[in-house]
Amino acid sequence: MRLPRFPLLVALLVIVAAAYWYFQSQRAPSGETMAVYYTKLDGTSLASVRVSVRPRASGESAAEHLHNQVLYAAVEAVTGPPNDIKAIRFPPGTHVNGVTLDGSTATVDLSKEVDNQAGGSFGESGEFKALVYTVTGIAGVDAVRVTVDGTRLETLPGGHLELDQPLRRADW
Amino acid sequence: MSWISRFVALIGSVAAAATFAAANCAPARADAPLTAVYQGQSIRFSHIGSKDGAPAIGVNDPGFAALLHVTDSVLTWKPGERYVLITTSVPTVVSFAVGDRRYDIGPIVLQAAFAPYQRGNEVFLPFNEVLRGLDLALREDGAVKVLQPQLGTLDVRASRDRVTLLAHGGAPLHPRVVSQTSSAVTYAFDGVGTALAGTRQINAGGVRSVQIATSGTVRAPVTTVTVALQPGASARPPQNNGARDVALAINGAKASPQSIAEESPTPEPEPSGTENPGNAPIPNATPANQSAVVTGVTSQPSGAGATVTIAVNGNASYAWHRLRDPDNRFWVDIRNAQLQGPPVDQAAPSPIVSMRARQIDESTVRVALTLGQPSAVVVTPSANGLQIEVGNEEVSDDAARSGTGTIGTVVSSGEQNPALVTPAPANNGQYDSGTSGDTGWKFGPRSSYVPTNPRLIVIDPGHGGSDSGSEHGGLKEADLTLDMAKRLRDILVARGWQVKLTRETDVDVYAPNDSAHDELQARVDVANKAGARLFVSVHVNAFMNSGPYGTTCYISKPEDVPLARMLEAHLAQDGTKDDGVIKSHLYVTYHTRMPAVLVESAFLTNPSDYALLASAAWRQKIAEEIADGIDQYTRAYPASNAAAQ
């Protein structure tokens, strides 16, 4: 007995479409995530938002991937959470020029706008705490050295925080 | 061949052809320059390419740089680097990577029309996706291309008695109310288009629904947001301060008019104990020996609910509580425990809304859950921690609202009586500059430092000379700190102390126009070379806005803790908020060899703190309270014991 072809074709297409939808829905949405810390307005408590981390691409070496992750983490930390979240933020316009890695120490080069601190220990301490916690959240990084427009410095102008040594989580 | 075989073959042929086409057609190519109008300003983009029929923009394009500039955005990229990151004014990071079609706008992962590609030393990005990240859209007005600002996001933050609509646009937003009745309010955003048109049902906080529509022309678009109100709800006048972010606030029927203006965090329940701000609480006393360590708090969906796993290394007791509906909060306190790492504050799978973990006092870790409904919760202890299962079914009214238990191998809760100990200072008494862990020193209050001049206290008036510190409303930090330091000196001298100020006038301690490092080191040198008993640096705090206020004692070393605690105890009565003791990597407290505290007395940028700082009587009070704290400390830690410490 010959079955009518058209209804079977439609049924098959529905099955294919359903299978496609199923496998798409089963895919991991975005893989790994990373905590981007920010310091709350009590001056010391940390909270975090999570952002998705791009997986290592083909042709991307482990060292390059680590560098890219550190860059992303530093940019996210300096950017801070969305505006409706109250947080200690880097001075307006502060951005990451680039990062380098030396062993487990990441050097984050910030733009000169970071010098425009309001004054007081409050902002400086909270800003760098969030940066250090975010960047050292990446496996293989345990310290963060800060430079400004490529120059090493011991403190910010008129500042309070010691920046001569790489900063670690244990400093807070 | 059956028809099924022919069908499969056909599908295969089509798939192969599509794959080949995707791999080979429409290679990247250079295109003619493009000129577009943004906010009346013409921007010429010359590094234009295209791929798969979609436009590409080169990151070195001067027009692209101009666009980033006018939208307050920043590009982070260097030649040879794979990642191209754009920080927008939201602020949000828009992330691209060469060879990857995926792009991210903050936490949202999207697929671009094509993957960024490299031509020579320049990376070309999918232009439409870049514009989307900047909340812009390329539109055509006849022959003219227009970069039309978009209402890119409209987040709805709903609670029981209010709704806040957070709008963000690709240009400064100037919302205006175009109609308002008891049942609806309509806001218009002139000059802004949107792809968000549609209706969203809210049914919470006084709002039934939100309808977004767009009209007008390409160059003069208008986006309207109509909020359908529930009975009794009211809308507050919108902000119109020219920012790209605007909050539209609706009060529900039961909300007080001012409640909408307040912060909306969910306060943590505090059934016992006291709030200890900060994730690195400084204890008043030495901690219990062999504290358990909470090594992780994670959540994941399970069945129809969610499971929170609290990993605990060691023995501890716990007590859990929950509040009654409608306040569906649950928390568990893990006693004799330390939280490893920073506090947790994050969303969690339904029916949990959010999850927080923090150290609430020196020996208690609290894990708190905000539940979206009165869900049943089952707490199961094990040798390795606690498992909290939150079901989808509702808890019964007669179910337990609290419980206790033990984790690990302890016999029962309440039987732990570990001896109080004072851990040895790190590195045989010499403070390790941070390479050691941070868990031991915070609880080691005694110093091995032996002052050569145990009657000398060095007071450091912050800033001075070429560095006046923060300035606000005619007051300079350097003047205020010198005034307070002199008052403190007079009090201490009257009580029999020798006092040395690092500066006695408005001068640099090291040299005029010196570096901050030289200046701070000079202040440290005054104390270190004199072998002073204590070092107290007096400062005035400041911030970017007027919100923060209060008094904070900053420290860096283990031996700073008890002095800071005693100063804080006296300064807590100073009339502003007690912001506690905060550990940080401040230069002067880090490099002084003796116990040292940097007192940030109040915020010059906060109106009420400013009024205090402007008062000579208040500055005298601060000086007396610091002196009282020093007296208490020196009585508790007499110099004769210094050698034994």
CATH number, span B444-643:
3.40.630.40
B72 Rama class: left (phi>0) / alpha (psi -120 to 50) / beta? left
For domain B292-407, the CATH class is mainly beta
Work out the number of other CB atoms within 10 angstroms of the CB of residue B308. Answer: 25
pLDDT at B261 exceeding the cut of 50: no
Q: Is A20 or B230 the better-scoring residue by pLDDT?
A: B230
For position B485, what pLDDT does the model report?
97
pLDDT at B557 exceeding the cut of 60: yes
Taking CB atoms and an 8 Å cutoff, what residues of chain A touch B604?
119-120
For position B360, what pLDDT does the model report?
80
Task: List the single residue in A29, A64, A120 with the smallest CB-CB distance to B82.
Answer: A64
Task: List the single residue in B107, B539, B583 with the smallest CB-CB distance to A50.
Answer: B107
Pick among B165, B279, B359, B360 to test the A interface (most A CBs inside 10 A): B279
Per the listing, tokens 């977004």 go with B212
Task: List the single residue in A9, A121, A159 with the smallest CB-CB distance to B598.
Answer: A121
- Residues facing B136 on adjacent strands: B149
- Residues facing B479 on adjacent strands: none
Note the pLDDT tens digit of each residue in B3-50. Answer: 454 554 445 444 444 443 444 445 566 788 899 999 889 999 999 999
Domains B292-407 and B444-643 share a fold: no
Q: What mean pLDDT value characterizes chain B?
A: 81
Contact between A110 and A156 under an 8 Å Cβ cutoff? The reply is: no
B93-97 and B151-158 as β-strands: parallel, antiparallel, unpaired? Answer: unpaired
Contact between B466 and B515 under an 8 Å Cβ cutoff? The reply is: no
B337-339 and B292-302 as β-strands: parallel, antiparallel, unpaired? Answer: parallel
Q: Please, which pLDDT band fits residue A1 given cuts at 50, 70 and 90?
A: low
Question: Where exactly are the structural domains of chain B?
Answer: 29-145, 150-261, 292-407, 444-643
Interface of B with A in 147-186 (CB under 8 A): 155, 157, 166
- Report, as an integer, the average pLDDT of B311-333: 80
Note the pLDDT tens digit of each residue in A22-67. Answer: 544 433 344 688 999 999 999 999 999 888 899 999 999 999 999 9
For position B229, what pLDDT does the model report?
93
Query: In angstroms, what separates the C-alpha of B9 from chain A's closest C-alpha?
Result: 14
What single DSSP character describes residue B353? E
For B264-273, B558-567, B614-623, which range has the lowest pLDDT when averaged over its residues?
A: B264-273
| Cross-chain Cβ contact B342/A46 below 8 Å | yes
How many interchain CB pairs under 8 A, A with B?
220
Cα–Cα distances in angstroms (integers) from residue B472 to residues A92, B217, B409, in the given order? 19, 46, 58
pLDDT at B268 exceeding the cut of 80: no
pTM assigned to the model: 0.68
pLDDT at B344 exceeding the cut of 80: yes
Contact between B134 and B73 under an 8 Å Cβ cutoff? The reply is: yes
Interface of B with A in 281-340 (CB under 8 A): none
Taking CB atoms and an 8 Å cutoff, what residues of chain A touch B477?
119-120
Q: Please, which pLDDT band fits residue B75 given cuts at 50, 70 and 90?
A: very high
Residue of B nearest to A10 (CA): B7
Taking CB atoms and an 8 Å cutoff, what residues of chain B touch A47?
343, 345
Residue of B nearest to A6 (CA): B3
Query: In angstroms, what separates the C-alpha of A45 from chain B's closest C-alpha?
Result: 4
Interface of B with A in 197-236 (CB under 8 A): none
B512 touches chain A (CB under 8 A): no
Of B56, B8, B63, B4, residue with least CA distance to B29: B56
| Cross-chain Cβ contact B87/A75 below 8 Å | yes
B540 touches chain A (CB under 8 A): yes
Q: Please, which pLDDT band fits residue B402 given cuts at 50, 70 and 90?
A: confident
> Token pair for residue A150?
């490529």
Note the pLDDT tens digit of each residue in A112-158. Answer: 999 999 888 999 999 999 999 999 999 999 999 999 999 998 888 77
Q: Distance from CA of residue B55 to its chain's centroid?
A: 37
Query: In angstroms, what separates the C-alpha of A4 from chain B's closest C-alpha?
Result: 11
Question: Where exactly are the structural domains of chain A?
Answer: 30-171
* CATH 2.60.40.3470 assigned to B150-261: yes
B82 touches chain A (CB under 8 A): yes
Task: List the single residue in B97, B247, B463 with the smallest CB-CB distance to A158.
Answer: B463
Query: In angstroms, what separates the C-alpha of B386 from chain A's closest C-alpha?
Result: 23
What single DSSP character describes residue B162? E
Query: In angstroms, what separates the C-alpha of A102 from chain B's closest C-alpha?
Result: 16
Q: Please, which pLDDT band fits residue B644 given cuts at 50, 70 and 90?
A: very low
For position B6, what pLDDT does the model report?
53
B585 touches chain A (CB under 8 A): yes
B604 touches chain A (CB under 8 A): yes
Q: Is B192 or B514 the better-scoring residue by pLDDT?
A: B192
Per the listing, tokens 């425990």 go with B337
Work out the number of other CB atoms within 10 angstroms of the CB of residue B153. Answer: 19
- Residues facing B119 on adjacent strands: B122
Provide the H-helix boundaries in chain A.
Answer: 5-26, 62-79, 121-135
Contact between B463 and A158 under an 8 Å Cβ cutoff? The reply is: yes
Work out the number of other CB atoms within 10 angstroms of the CB of residue A10. Answer: 10
- How far apart are alpha carbons B78 and B63 in whole angstroms? 18
Q: Considering Cα of B463, then B464, then B470, then B472, what sign does the dihedral take?
A: positive
- The set of long-range contacts for A38-41, using a CB threshold of 8 Å and a minimum separation of 24, is A38/A77, A38/A80, A38/A81, A38/A85, A38/A87, A38/A88, A38/A89, A38/A130, A39/A87, A39/A88, A39/A125, A39/A126, A39/A127, A39/A129, A39/A130, A40/A86, A40/A87, A40/A88, A41/A86, A41/A87, A41/A88, A41/B547, A41/B548
Taking CB atoms and an 8 Å cutoff, what residues of chain B touch A12?
4, 7
Residue of B nearest to A168 (CA): B434
- Report, as an integer, the average pLDDT of B379-399: 77
Interface of B with A in 381-420 (CB under 8 A): none
Taking CB atoms and an 8 Å cutoff, what residues of chain A touch B478?
none
- Report, as an integer, the average pLDDT of B583-602: 94
Taking CB atoms and an 8 Å cutoff, what residues of chain B touch A52?
104, 107, 109
| Cross-chain Cβ contact B91/A80 below 8 Å | yes
- How far apart are alpha carbons B357 and B354 in whole angstroms? 10
Taking CB atoms and an 8 Å cutoff, what residues of chain A touch B155?
84
| Cross-chain Cβ contact B345/A47 below 8 Å | yes
For position B137, what pLDDT does the model report?
95
Taking CB atoms and an 8 Å cutoff, what residues of chain B touch A93?
74
